[in-house]
Amino acid sequence: MRGLAAVLLCLTLAGCAGQVPPPQLPASSTPTTDTSTPSIPAPPTPSPTLLSTSPSRALDLMTVRGTVSTGVEPGCVLLDTGSTQYLLLGADPAIAVAGAQVEVTGKPDPGGMTTCQQGTPFAVVKTQRVS
């Protein structure tokens, strides 16, 4: 049992042998601390972009009239004005039904991406039936 304790003590001491103690400061030197704060510039604040100076042009709304039809993809509703086909996004489904004559107010988004693959996307804000 005594031999086992001696072996364990040797192994413990051998494990500590590879460690280097931290450097000691000379007794006469005093540690200094840097009290200055580094100057970090603040990130630039983005300024808002002015879309339009006129409230009526701020949204660039337009009103179009035509006949509603269903698209080739499920859930797609189109408005045929005779010269342009608009993909109605957000039209009132109770009014914009296939075959109905409607007038919609909104904003076209020619570059908008949809899964309908037909017509110019048109974000509708108002839908009304035309007599």
pTM for the structure as a whole: 0.55
The top-level CATH class assigned to 62-129 is mainly beta
Q: H or E element: which one contains 80?
A: strand 77-80
Spans of all domains in the chain: 62-129
Work out whether the CA dihedral 85, 91, 95, 97 comes out positive or negative: positive
Residues 2-48: tens digit of each pLDDT: 666 665 555 565 555 555 555 665 565 555 555 666 667 665 544 34
Q: What is the pLDDT of residue 45?
A: 44
Residues 78-109: tens digit of each pLDDT: 999 999 999 999 999 999 999 999 999 999 99
